Amino acid sequence: MQLFYSPASPFARKCLVTLRETGQLDEAELVHVVGTPLDSSGMPTSHNPLGKLPALSRPDGPAIYDSRVICRFLDARKNAGLYPEGRIWETLTLEATGDGIMDAAVLMVYEGRCRPEDRRSPEWVEAQWAKVTRALGALTAKWQSHLAGPLDAGQIAVGCALGYLDFRHGDRDWRKGQDALAAWYAEFAERPSMQATVPVA
């Protein structure tokens, strides 16, 4: 297998954490690639025509892409239990919440990096942050018991999302008013799989 990734991507980090948590790191070649929404020339478009990361090539089938698809594949490959049938809808919803936080946070970065300064929209950026804060509030209010349970893909997604907020939006202090979530993340971030995949610019 080959995993095409960027160390700054929270979506790729999900896959890297999943590789480690399922004991498959030694079975995958990690291929570092670089690109932007405006320039996909360095991206693995032959494996993902959308020109996005991550993408996973397989020796026994076509390449797959989207972090949710890749993580589900890696879990099924080792029957690792990160998508437990007994709470599958909760796990998938929590994973979607983490991914939604990442989506909004990445779009905020792109607004500043990819648009000329005179065409940037502060209102649009704040609308993305509003999505993040609503999701954080929901995690604190409704998901603490799930986060405290056995490791699953939902927890990995949320952990990577919160790590990305620290990485790219640390000045916004997402922890304010989210004491329970912040305490959970402080412990989750100490997992070896998280420590080994801390994002870098």
CA 7 to mean position of chain CA atoms: 11
Establish whether the linkage from the previous residue to 54 is cis, with ω within 30° of 0: yes
Residue 101 and residue 161 in contact, taking contact as beta carbons nearer than 8 Å: yes
Domains in the chain with CATH codes: 2-78 (3.40.30.10), 85-192 (1.20.1050.10)
3-state secondary structure of 79: coil
Helix residue ranges per DSSP H, the chain: 10-21, 67-78, 88-114, 122-142, 144-147, 153-169, 179-188, 192-195
Residue 188: both structure tokens together: 């989750």
Q: Is 132 exposed, middle or buried (0-12, 13-18, 19+ CB in 10 A)?
A: buried
pTM of the complete model: 0.95
Predicted confidence pLDDT, tens digits, the chain (201 residues): 999 999 999 999 999 999 999 999 999 999 999 877 767 777 788 888 888 899 999 989 999 999 999 999 999 999 999 999 999 999 999 999 999 999 999 999 988 877 888 888 999 999 999 999 999 999 999 999 999 999 999 999 999 999 999 999 999 999 999 999 999 999 999 999 999 999 987
